[in-house]
Amino acid sequence: MLSFVQRFSKLPSLKPLSLKRNLIDFSLDRLVRGVDNIHIDVHISPQVQNAVKRVVSLLMIKHSETENYFKDYKRENLKNEINALRNLCNDVLLDGLNRAKSASEVQIDYLGQASLVKLFLQEIMNQYEIFLTNFKGLIRSYELSLDHDSYESFKIKEKLNDLKYNQKRTILHAGDELFRILADISSKNLRTLRESNFHSDHVLPDDIFLNPILYTDNMVDDLFLIEAYVLIGQRSEDPDNYPNVKTMIYHLLEQTDLHDGNADVVDPVDDDEPGVKSSERRLLEGRNTFDGLLTEVENIDLMFNFFDSEDKYERLKRNKEPRAVLDGIKSQMNIQESMLDHFYRRFDESPVMKRIVAAYEIKGIYGKYCPPLRLHQLREFLLDPSTREPIARQLKSRKEDSLDLLYKAISEIRGCSTKKRKQHLLQFLKDFSRYHRDLRNYQLLRGIMDAISLIKEDRKLMLSKENRSLYEFLLPSERVMGEKPIVNHVIMKADIRGSVDITYTMIERGLNPASYFSLNFFDPISEILFDYGGAKEFIEGDAIIMSIFEYEDTPQGWYSVARACGLAVRMLQIVQQYNVTSQKHKLPILELGIGICFHQSPPSFLFDGDSRIIISPAINLADRLSSCSKMLRKQLKDENRLFNLFVFQDIPDEEFRATADDLSLRYNVNGIELSQEGFAKLSREISLKSVAYPMNGKEKVTLYTGTVPTMSGGSQRLVIREAEVLRVNPKTIDVIEITSRKYYEVCAQPEIYEFIKDHIS
């Protein structure tokens, strides 16, 4: 034993104890937000969802002790269902782990675990309400039965009252058994695999799931605390309330060599954060430099458990272990005894110690007196003589309640030896450490779960999946090999020039403009889309918007820009052929303007009923590229040109650079403009050869040519003209200078293709 001088000398160093710091922290900040741009969309295996419902419903019957009321309930059924759920959860978490490994993103693994936690919690609350409703149904059925017995009916109703009173206990024990499944999977099945793929610091500890605070609606409820941890004070004036005890522990630890002199690190809880009651807020606010030590429950034994070390020392001594081993244990014993004595003196000097002793005395007797008493009344009876008479009268009104156990507990508290009090303090520190750890983990997990949206509706699943924002955790049998995700896309817009005038003229002549546009433009275009991998997205009156997608892991189809160019040329050729027929019959001819825009990411989608609507920034740019200035069209309409696209800048550079929109002035009549990003992608898709085309014997135009494979197995030659954007006077359109910007026209004139044919080998 320590001498009197040793007891009051400087505390020993704790560094030889190799204390751990539990500083787990994880987030989902690198994962894609879902369709609401707030939450992360998750879809969990339907088989897992159904299995969780079955297990939780059976656990409610088991832990409410109502097996005799439900004829179909059998313990072996619960055991089988738990084993089935364990296997399903293991497979789903393994699926998430493999996807996390494939993407080199551990947060996907975190997401899978947190999503199961959220699913479990939802079903605990849902199934308890269903269980209670079913039990009430039993009462109604019994009352309506022919062999109705009033006494039995009374007993069933009494059981219902008992169920309501013990709701927290039922949920606590059911939740504990359910979450132990998740903890077992993590520790026994997947821990080694996780540690082999990710750093051990990134593997969540098992105790994060074994957290009773997760499945209670009141983390400061006395009954909850005494069942799951230890009874502590809740009022601000209580000396043993959570903040006071934590402050005492931290101040005492500051007197050791663990204190690094750092200021407290405060992590306040947002006042607007939902689900946090004012009585709970003070529990969650404030993280101290010792938090990492206090949340590691094993540290309590390492620092204070002199009793276990003493037993271990005597056992090793009897076994004649080497002196070095015995000296090591004895050194640890001295540290632990000194620390326990130091803490005990401080706690014993305060009113806290007697409350700790009372808390453990209450554990064995509260079931007999609560109800009608509340737990804090019971503790007051044991500690405060002035409260005993009114409480005794309250109990004596219930003749079956004896006060013997209460007075025996008072006697135990008064006669509690110093050794026993120290053992109570040691147990209290461990229970308090678990509570502190679980509070911290609860706050962390709650924030994570609030960020998750468990999607179950088919429409939302489809919307999220189409937008590549859905994280799925499925069984192998549920993962259908469907269409691969979109990685890139092209948007094309073909705009009919002068459609308003054409419509007016035809109506004036008694003709049908709708059928004219359909037969001469929309229908022929639809027939050739497949050969280029294109799809019609929607029609805007006199314009059609089309798309070509590139899919993950399908490099054989990564020709979206080249095929869009080939499709655009073919469209112009078809329209020209129909124009020949129209001219013979004195019908209007069609002129187009086409814009092609590439976007190096998947588009988004929304749904109007069953109709999928594409959302893409490329749509706006394609609209700009296909446009034509009315002023330029009027000025240049009678000129016979080899090229059909000209782009000008008629605003100052500052104004042009100030917006992401394309404010260029365009002449685009039977022209096809390809965006700069599109040309860069085209040069990666196919081999392009540069050719100089002479204009009037002086100016030379830069052309690029190559061939694109079509979906049907053929090929098509493409010619792209590169030209500089000219700065012009906005009023006169006179050229001021040549800018450094370039634009690209997909050529469609036969003369150009004849030239290319003659000049390339």
Dump pLDDT digits (tens) for 581-615.
Answer: 989 988 999 999 999 999 999 998 887 766 778 89
Which token pair is 279? 């009585």
What local confidence, expressed as pLDDT, does residue 285 receive?
Answer: 45
- Helix, strand, coil shares of the chain, percent, nearest 5, are 55, 15, 30
pLDDT at 9 over 70: no
What local confidence, expressed as pLDDT, does residue 55 receive?
Answer: 95
Question: What whole-number distance in Å separates Cα of residue 619 and Cα of residue 598?
Answer: 10
State the average pLDDT over residues 541-562.
89
Report the relative pairing of strands 699-709 and 715-728 from DSSP bridges. antiparallel
What local confidence, expressed as pLDDT, does residue 481 receive?
Answer: 53
| Cβ atoms 712, 531 nearer than 8 A | yes
Query: For 379-411, what is each residue's pLDDT tens digit?
Result: 999 998 988 888 888 877 665 567 888 899 999
pLDDT at 97 over 60: yes
What local confidence, expressed as pLDDT, does residue 209 receive?
Answer: 85
- In terms of Cα–Cα distance, which of 161, 277, 274, 286 is closest to 218? 277
What local confidence, expressed as pLDDT, does residue 26 receive?
Answer: 82
What local confidence, expressed as pLDDT, does residue 180 receive?
Answer: 93
Sign of CA dihedral 129, 132, 138, 144: negative
Share of the chain above pLDDT 70, in %: 91
pLDDT at 639 over 70: no
Least confident of 66-75, 96-105, 115-124, 334-343: 66-75
| Cβ atoms 696, 619 nearer than 8 A | no
What local confidence, expressed as pLDDT, does residue 2 receive?
Answer: 47
Query: For 555-564, what is each residue's pLDDT tens digit?
Result: 888 999 999 9
What local confidence, expressed as pLDDT, does residue 605 receive?
Answer: 84
State the average pLDDT over residues 153-157.
79
Contacts of 692 (CB under 8 A, 6+ apart): 700, 701, 702, 703
What local confidence, expressed as pLDDT, does residue 642 receive?
Answer: 85
Query: For 304-324, what is each residue's pLDDT tens digit?
Result: 999 999 999 899 889 888 899
Contacts of 250 (CB under 8 A, 6+ apart): 288, 290, 294
Least confident of 232-236, 335-339, 628-632, 757-761: 757-761
pLDDT at 38 over 50: yes
The larger pLDDT score, comparing residue 126 to residue 480, is at 126
State the average pLDDT over residues 48-76.
90
Query: For 413-464, what is each residue's pLDDT tens digit?
Result: 999 999 999 999 999 999 999 999 999 999 999 999 999 999 988 888 888 8
Q: How confident is the model at residue 260 (pLDDT cuts 50, 70, 90)?
A: low
Q: How confident is the model at residue 61 (pLDDT cuts 50, 70, 90)?
A: very high
**Mean pLDDT across the chain, nearest whole number?**
86
What local confidence, expressed as pLDDT, does residue 273 receive?
Answer: 40
pLDDT at 263 over 50: no
Q: How confident is the model at residue 369 (pLDDT cuts 50, 70, 90)?
A: confident
Residue with tokens 């007196």: 369
Report the relative pairing of strands 40-44 and 452-454 from DSSP bridges. parallel
Burial 89-106 (b: 16+ CB within 10 A, else e): bbbbbbbbbebbbeeeeb
pLDDT at 67 over 90: no
What local confidence, expressed as pLDDT, does residue 640 receive?
Answer: 64
Rank 149-153, 667-671, 727-731 by mean pLDDT and report only the highest.
Answer: 667-671
What local confidence, expressed as pLDDT, does residue 120 receive?
Answer: 96
What local confidence, expressed as pLDDT, does residue 610 receive?
Answer: 63
| Cβ atoms 215, 180 nearer than 8 A | no
Question: What whole-number distance in Å separates Cα of residue 144 and Cα of residue 584?
Answer: 89
Query: For 175-189, what is each residue's pLDDT tens digit?
Result: 999 999 999 998 888
Q: How confident is the model at residue 347 (pLDDT cuts 50, 70, 90)?
A: very high
Least confident of 265-279, 330-344, 656-670: 265-279
The larger pLDDT score, comparing residue 264 to residue 617, is at 617
Give Dmax (Cα) for the chain.
Answer: 120
The larger pLDDT score, comparing residue 633 to residue 144, is at 633
Share of the chain above pLDDT 90, in %: 47
Distance set, CA 218 to CA 44, 132, 215, 276, 435 (Å): 28, 20, 9, 10, 13
Report the relative pairing of strands 604-608 and 611-615 from DSSP bridges. antiparallel
What are the chain's domains? 4-454 (no CATH), 486-759 (3.30.70.1230)
Q: How confident is the model at residue 143 (pLDDT cuts 50, 70, 90)?
A: confident
State the average pLDDT over residues 236-251.
92
R_g (Cα) of the chain, nearest Å = 39
pLDDT at 73 over 90: no
**Residue 649 belongs to what H/E stretch?**
strand 645-649
pLDDT at 240 over 90: yes
Q: How confident is the model at residue 654 (pLDDT cuts 50, 70, 90)?
A: confident
Question: What whole-number distance in Å separates Cα of residue 610 and Cα of residue 386?
Answer: 73
pLDDT at 576 over 60: yes
What local confidence, expressed as pLDDT, does residue 261 receive?
Answer: 44
Least confident of 116-130, 148-162, 288-302, 688-702: 148-162
State the average pLDDT over residues 479-499.
83
